[in-house]
Structure 1
Amino acid sequence: MDKLRCMEVFLAVVDRGTLSAAAASLGLSPSMVSTHLSNLESDLGVRLLNRTTRSLSLTDEGVTYHVHCQQILDQISGVEAELAGKGGTPRGRLRLDIPSTIAQHLIMPLLPEFRRRYPAIHLDFSDSEQILETVENQYDVMIRLGLLRDSGMIARPLGHSALLTVASPHYLAQRGIPLTPDDLHGHECINYLIERTGRLLPWSFQHGGQPIELQTLGGLSISQGNTRIEAALNGLGIVQGMAFHLKGSLASGHLQQVLPDWVSMAPTLEVLYPRGRRESRKVHAFVDFLIEHYPAAQEMIAPARSQ
């Protein structure tokens, strides 16, 4: 039995959530993934996963093994990366967790250049919408909005973006244009739902140097950034979003800015990575590349799509 391969399969199943998804990511058949898991459990003498036809969950022993298994493979990967780095070429698998809105507008247009520079780095993307407060240990690099205190992570600031309030011309023609944030109480507001907590993110404004937060009501609360903007494009209400996300829709006239004198800045985007075992050349290559294109204290502008 190849113990390291079985450990890799186990981690992939936990990360992906299903045998079939793990199999696809590893280039194996689902039956082979199941065999690796069974061999590992037999060798350890414990059950690592509770398996039903619909779900997988870690046993108590599985939770313990997962932590140590991840550390062992990370240490091996780190040594390999260090040895490879002595030849000057960052290489290996880099696990990224980047909210889909940011990935689509700010990261994907840069990837052709990154891939040309670092062809030996394999990027494994998770494009969750956990833009606030959450850090998952299985990733090498994450992007989050605002500083995560006491996260145990190294955090480096990227640029910033204005937070704009917009709606479709059709909606505004029907419901009127709000002139102050208080006017929003008489409008349909498309709220940002923080899925992990069920909270609604307050709306943020600034006027005369004074920050203002407002909790609005409306018939829609959505966690996914692109879906919130799509709702506004369909005339369902007023929404707040970052300028780089809204630029195209504003330029085309499909969305119209309101409350232009009350614009605030969104929290700074932070790129985060774990201390110690994953501070490898591939991590620093990706982080430094992002900072090169989105330096701190400068406005973030979405690049044109690569042809």
Structure 2
Amino acid sequence: MAKERGGDHFAGIVPFVRVAEARSFTGAAKRLGLTPSAVSKAIAKLEGDLGVALLHRTSRSVTLTPEGAAFYERCRQIVSDIEEARESVSTAQAEPRGHLRVSLPLAFGRLEVMPLMPGFLEQNPELTVDANLTDRAVDLAEEGYDVAVRIGRRSEARLVARRIRRTRMVTAASPAYLRERGVPERPEALRGHNCVGFLLPSTGALLDWVFEHDGRPQSIAVRGNLTVNTVEAQVEAAVSGGGVIQTLDFIARRAIEDGTLVPLLEDYLTLGPSIFALYPENRRLSAKIGVFIDFLTRTLGEV
């Protein structure tokens, strides 16, 4: 019977698989809760035990060697099966625990999720959460995130998407503006109003406004003397009397509730983009990811 080489070389397989997935020592280290140096040393020892180089390392990238690619394909499913077995045992016996890294859209995170976090953490005392608020589409694997919340579903390979809630588009203006300029009764009337436009940060495109009546969608190209690239600035401009806005319901909700904005054209409301939680398909729905997504779905609900 052949003697095993390097009795503890299995310890390097999980770090190797994580680096292969993230193409980054830093991303793998964040996911594993280790330092990049520790991950690098584990893989170097694994390569020494195997007698082959598994990775090409440069200052800017990490890629698999041909031997590394073949080894990864064999190890990937093994690691996934072990994690699934571990999860099936731990989730049946223990509450969610550990560290959860979450990416949230700026406005949605600040307005909707952050007020809920103390309650979530009180219900899950064995969890800690690192919440990063950004409108950038983070790379979950490379940057070490467990879950990302996105407005609008983007097709991304190797990610599972679960819808948290729907949104609606809301058109509104301040009472002072409406006293001066009048209340538009139909979407076409907006062409005679000063509309605060929104520039999509990812493309710089000025968004048309959308409406629906009797099942028929309608798009209006509005004009005004101000455009902005954040939804918070758009709401502030409208509250200050700067014009009419169209935005997502949750962004304008507080201003409408306190009377600083008045909803308009409510017979022409249309659905906005849905909000999704995404997690890597190879992570399976772990206890900590599952409890977070379930909490958001339960507390924020469907519109």
Q: Structure 2 length normalisation: TM-score? A: 0.69
Residue 136 and residue 183 in structure 1: after superposition, are their counterparts in 2 closer, same or farther (change >3 A)?
Answer: farther
Structure 2 CA distance for aligned equivalents of residues 172 and 11 of structure 1: 53
Structure 1 segments (4+ residues) deviating >3 Å: 46-49, 62-65, 78-87, 149-152
1:137 aligned to 2:159?
no
Residue 81 and residue 160 in structure 1: after superposition, are their counterparts in 2 closer, same or farther (change >3 A)?
Answer: same
Identity in percent: 29
Alpha-carbon displacement from aligned partner over 1:94-135 (angstroms, at most 9, x marks no partner): 1211112212232122222211221222211121135xxx45
Match of 2:164 among 158, 161, 175: 158
Match of 1:169 among 171, 175, 193: 175
Structure 2 CA distance for aligned equivalents of residues 210 and 225 of structure 1: 26
Query: SS at the partner of 2:295?
Result: helix
Match of 2:282 among 269, 273, 276: 276
Residue in 1 aligned with 2:295? 289
Residue in 2 aligned with 1:124? 130
- How many equivalent residue pairs? 258
1:205 aligned to 2:215?
no
Where in structure 1 are there 5+ consecutive unaligned residues? 16-25, 27-32, 50-58, 300-307
Residue in 2 aligned with 1:225? 231
Residue 221 and residue 36 in structure 1: after superposition, are their counterparts in 2 closer, same or farther (change >3 A)?
Answer: farther
1:247 aligned to 2:253?
yes
Root-mean-square deviation over aligned CA pairs:
3.9
Any conservation in 2 of the 1:81–1:92 contact (CA below 8 Å)?
Answer: no
Residue in 2 aligned with 1:267? 273
Structure 1 stretch 218-227 or stretch 106-115: which is displaced more? 218-227
Structure 1 CA distance for aligned equivalents of residues 191 and 290 of structure 2: 46
Alpha-carbon displacement from aligned partner over 1:216-239 (angstroms, at most 9, x marks no partner): 233333332222211211222211
Structure 2 CA distance for aligned equivalents of residues 86 and 236 of structure 1: 55
The higher radius of gyration belongs to 2
Alignment map for 1:187-206 (pairs within 5 Å): 187-206=193-212
**Letter paired with 2:131:** F
1:11 aligned to 2:26?
yes
Alpha-carbon displacement from aligned partner over 1:156-201 (angstroms, at most 9, x marks no partner): 2222233210111222233332222222223222222221222223
Any conservation in 2 of the 1:163–1:241 contact (CA below 8 Å)?
Answer: yes
Alignment map for 1:21-36 (pairs within 5 Å): none
Structure 2 CA distance for aligned equivalents of residues 11 and 81 of structure 1: 24
Report deviation, 1:294.
3.5
Q: Structure 1 length normalisation: TM-score? A: 0.68
1:256 aligned to 2:262?
yes
Residue 267 and residue 287 in structure 1: after superposition, are their counterparts in 2 closer, same or farther (change >3 A)?
Answer: same
Structure 2 CA distance for aligned equivalents of residues 181 and 277 of structure 1: 46
